[in-house]
Amino acid sequence: MSKFIAKPVRKLLCKLKIPGDKSISHRSIMLGSLANGITEIRGFLQGEDSLATLKAFQKMGVNIKQDSDKIIIQGVGLHGLKQPNSPLDLGNSGTSMRLMSGILAAQSFDSELIGDISLSKRPMSRVIDPLTDMGAVIESNDGKLPLKIKGSHPLKGINYNLPVASAQVKSCILLAGLYAQGETCVSQPKTTRDHTERMLKGLGYSVRVMNNKICLSGDGGLRAAKIQVPSDISSAAFFMVAACIAPQSDIILKDININPTRTGVIDILQLMGAKLTLINEREISGELLADIRVQSSQLRGIHIPVELVPLAIDEFPAIFIAASCAQGETILTGAKELRVKESDRIQVMADGLDILGIENEVSEDGIKIQGGIFQKPSNIIESHHDHRISMSFAVASLRCEYTIEINGVDNVKTSFPNFVELANFAGMNIVEV
């Protein structure tokens, strides 16, 4: 088990190129494999999660060649996948698991999906139930992994109301809908990231979006295309917060994805008083990009607007660090989804903040954080092998007066394989041992 040893520094001055967006990298492999023709992907995230998706489709007979962050896929069409000769191991990737369940539920062959210890604890009933309504036959371990998906069961379109806003569940149902007879519609209680809808449209598939209802019919095909993956805003969030809380900072983050369903972290930090501006806004491959400049900021506590919660769901561990350095109280509600991520991110972050002497109060669906000064009752943080917890507390070192240790950082490479390298280039002092 590896750990970070993070020492305090005061200054961050740099321009950074963050690795490719993980959500878009996953979807580019999946939809490129199901398209007709050759799809070329540039900027692909070479993290373990997205590589798990790539390897899974290779095992199903798709010719995928990789040269660094450039990927060439010879698509097999919607019905060209072949039965893998062993279970598909998706490691730590919940996105791979949930989205691929929708695709595999419609195939003519049986398949089995497995993952690591962390993924095996995460709830899969949220995709099993709607897929079963569509006609899929799926065996599970009481709603958890492994999933055994039976082939040759025709799917029918459904109208599904998401009980909880989830881009993964929405995308799973829409991907199954590509194969279903009739129309499939998903209604979501709040806006969630829309990368699946955007990429389907970019590959020539008809998708109808009416406010928070998304519909498609299972009678189309996907055309191969060139896809440019922008830099991941979820990974950039750690450096946004770092620049806000560092005593002396002025950084520029290049080519960041500013898809409006993902910019909750920007909105929240700006509400807190962050000196954060967007530069050079543009559109590439159907996604919005910008460079982001962030400077040292005097943050203030806020009551986070509930409508921003699903737009920043992956960034809250980093936002909790910003709240800890803000003046006054920050209150988060409506974020129960955080409890079923790679860890219970509300409780694990609260435990770490306790260790650093930050007053907080946990609720069922959120947390109340009183901004203060990082004390030293202890300096050892347990990340529970959650990559976003590990990186968030590494960022906290910028406001500590002492070295902190973060245990269980192995999974950082699932989403941000060069985090330590970039953090140290920016001016931080992190050693992985």
Alpha-carbon gap, residue 421 to 432, rounded angstroms: 10
| Predicted structure pTM score | 0.94
Considering only the C-alpha atoms of the chain, give the largest distance between any 2 of them, rounded to a whole number of Å: 61
Provide the pLDDT confidence category of residue 23 given band limits of 50, 70 and 90. Answer: very high
pLDDT of residue 375: 87
With left for phi above 0 and alpha for psi between -120 and 50, is residue 126 left, alpha or beta? alpha
Tell me which residue of 302, 304, 366, 368 sits closest to 334, measured CA to CA. 366
* pLDDT tens profile 257-294: 999 999 999 999 999 999 999 999 999 988 999 999 99
Overall CATH class of domain 22-228: alpha beta
* DSSP track, 166-216: -HHHHHHHHHHHTTSBSEEEEE-SS----HHHHHHHHTT---EEETTEEEE
Alpha-carbon gap, residue 394 to 29, rounded angstroms: 31
CATH 3.65.10.10, the chain: domain bounds? 3-19+230-432, 22-228
Task: List the catalytic residue out of 232, 314, 365, 410.
Answer: 314
Residue 372 · residue 330 · CB < 8 Å? no
Q: Label residue 372 exposed, middle or buried (CB < 10 Å: 0-12, 13-18, 19+).
A: middle
Q: What is the mean pLDDT of the chain?
A: 97
Alpha-carbon gap, residue 207 to 222, rounded angstroms: 12
**Residue 314 annotated among the catalytic residues of the structure:** yes
pLDDT of residue 376: 77
* pLDDT tens profile 377-432: 678 999 999 999 999 999 999 999 999 999 999 999 999 999 999 999 999 999 99
Alpha-carbon gap, residue 374 to 34, rounded angstroms: 50
Tell me which residue of 53, 2, 3, 1 sits closest to 23, measured CA to CA. 53
Q: Give percent of the chain with pLDDT exceeding 90.
A: 97
The single-letter code of the amino acid at 115 is G
* pLDDT tens profile 309-329: 999 999 999 999 999 999 999
Q: Which fold has domain 3-19+230-432?
A: UDP-n-acetylglucosamine1-carboxyvinyl-transferase; Chain (3.65.10)
pLDDT of residue 285: 85
